[in-house]
Amino acid sequence: MTRAAALLSLCGLVVVACGGAPAPAPAPAHEHAHVHGAHAPLVHRFQSAEQWAKEFDDPARDEWQKPAEVVAAMRLEPGMTVADLGAGTGYFEPLLSRGVGAAGVVLALDVEPDMVRYLGERAQREHLANVRPALVATDDPKLAAQSVDRILVVDVWHHIDARDAYVAKLRDALKPGGKVFVVDFEPDAKHGPPPKHRLSSATVERELAAAGLAAETLTEALPEQYIVVGTRR
């Protein structure tokens, strides 16, 4: 949720990013996990933030994750509220913080308590005053209705169980016109989860659309990933 991953690290949401029960989280390609069949959510714990920071914040990750390009695609504006699901060690937080400015808010959400601790310390250390770390459940981002302009879910989607119910919660959290951005691995990517846990961009589009979001895959192509956007009508 790598942003990876550990989200929501909901990591996974992630998301989104990973937690007390298996969590959604951004995840490196070599991670080990229990599997439960094709397209089953990938179960993985990301409990030691300092340990995972060596991977999630490795400068080499920039070459394939392209964080600046991902954030540019979000078209952030000063004063927006952004939720980073599966924030992990805060890989995206400096960029998101600058994107929404002093009047904006970045909700750095993760299911792992140690990641949330690390996020808070990083925000203090790097003077990211608008970053607000928070612990969330693996099945609930705990976002108030119509409270956020953008939701970012990087390397976490394949960790989330019962995604239909989860997407509905994301939809309800978006303001009218708000958007959720799902960044995940292409089937042939060199990084990422085992192939049996990878989801196509078409599958993610269908999942977002089923919740009533207008879904599309952006033409901005990352080296190993896609960006699927769902917009609240």
Residue 40: predicted pLDDT: 53
pTM for the full predicted model? 0.81
Residue 208: predicted pLDDT: 98
The contacts of residue 15 (CB under 8 Å, 6+ apart) are: 1, 7, 8, 9, 24, 25, 85, 86, 109, 141, 153, 154, 156, 157, 159, 160
Q: Which residue has the higher pLDDT, 53 or 168?
A: 168
For residue 32, what are the β-bridge partners?
Answer: none
Rounded to a whole number of angstroms, the distance between the first and last alpha carbons of the chain is: 27
Is the model's pLDDT at 53 over the cut of 70?
A: yes
Mean pLDDT of the chain: 84
Average pLDDT score over residue span 158-163: 93
Q: Binning pLDDT at 50, 70 and 90, where does residue 49 land?
A: confident
Rounded Cα–Cα distance for residues 181 and 73 (Å):
9
Cα 19–Cα 204–Cα 42 angle in degrees, nearest 5: 30
Average pLDDT score over residue span 17-28: 34
Percent of the chain with pLDDT over 90: 71
For residue 181, which phi and psi values (nearest 5 degrees)?
Answer: -115, 120
Exposure b/e, 128-138, CB count within 10 A at least 16 = b = bebbbbbbbeb
Average pLDDT score over residue span 93-113: 97
Q: Binning pLDDT at 50, 70 and 90, where does residue 45 land?
A: low
**CATH T-level topology, domain 49-231:** Rossmann fold (3.40.50)
Residue 137: predicted pLDDT: 94
Rounded Cα–Cα distance for residues 25 and 160 (Å):
8
Average pLDDT score over residue span 197-222: 95
- List C-alpha distances in Å: 51 to 78, 89, 92, 124, 148: 33, 10, 18, 20, 31
Closest-CA residue to 135 (of 108, 154, 159, 157):
108
Percent of the chain with pLDDT over 70: 79
Q: Binning pLDDT at 50, 70 and 90, where does residue 48 land?
A: confident
Domain map of the chain by residue range?
49-231
57-82 pLDDT tens trace: 899 999 999 999 999 999 999 999 99
Rounded Cα–Cα distance for residues 189 and 179 (Å):
25
Cis link prior to 8 (omega < 30° from 0)? yes
Q: Binning pLDDT at 50, 70 and 90, where does residue 19 land?
A: very low
Rounded Cα–Cα distance for residues 82 and 80 (Å):
6
Is the model's pLDDT at 89 over the cut of 70?
A: yes
For residue 134, what are the β-bridge partners?
Answer: 109
In the block, tokens 């392209």 appear at 66
Tokens describing residue 215? 């879904």
The residue type at 176: P
Residue 51: predicted pLDDT: 78
